[in-house]
Amino acid sequence: MSGFGPFRPVVVFRAGWYFKPVRTVLAQPANRLSRTGQRLPLVGQEYVRTKAVIPTNTVAPVASGTAQDGQTLSTTNGTWTGTATVTVGSGYQWQTASDAGFTTAVLDIGGATASTYLLTAAEIGLYVRCVVQAVNVAAIGLGYSNVLGPVIA
């Protein structure tokens, strides 16, 4: 396939697949002439259908701040791999748990869907972390930050 030009480097085929440009194609059609009457090359791309790889978190997001009521926590996005365009930080969700291992009573904090979160009295005695989402044409990947807490008054 050719003729998509340099402005469409990734073309979605269907869920989990995309077209990857493999080489530039030059053509000289008769209708492409310069001001001096010379033919101009038409630049396009040749594509190959490629299976997309799910975004994978290779370096975990880092949550920081003081785990205290009224303090603001923030998180980094971490580092991700995957094919096609990976959009990192397309979603955040702050969570609480009753233990530092996040094995019991894990709950999403309602409305806490930004890269920062202001702790409230409801989190006192609990542990907090952030889940960062990355998206590409294949799927959604999740990365889990370090745990902060327990939150103090």
Q: Each residue of 70-80: pLDDT tens digit?
A: 999 999 999 99
Structural domains of the chain in order of their starting residue, each with its CATH number: 11-51 (no CATH), 56-144 (2.60.40)
Does position 132 have pLDDT exceeding 80, yes or no?
Answer: yes
- Show the tokens assigned to 2: 């050719």
Summary count for the chain: helices (H), strands (E): 0, 12
Name the least confident of 80-89, 126-135, 140-149: 80-89
Q: List, edge to edge, every strand of the sheet that includes 63-64.
A: 63-64, 72-75, 116-118
For residues 39 and 73, the answer to whether their CB atoms sit within 8 Å is no
At 20, the pLDDT band (50, 70, 90 cuts) reads: low
Residue 7 — pLDDT band, cuts 50, 70, 90? very low
Interval 2-22 mean pLDDT? 45
Burial class (CB in 10 A: 0-12, 13-18, 19+), 52: buried
Residue 12 is predicted with a pLDDT of 42
The token duo for 3 is 């003729």
Q: Provide the pLDDT confidence category of residue 128 given band limits of 50, 70 and 90.
A: very high
The residue that leads in pLDDT, 11 or 127, is 127
Angle at CA 20, nearest 5°, toward 19 and 24? 120
pLDDT on residue 136 = 82
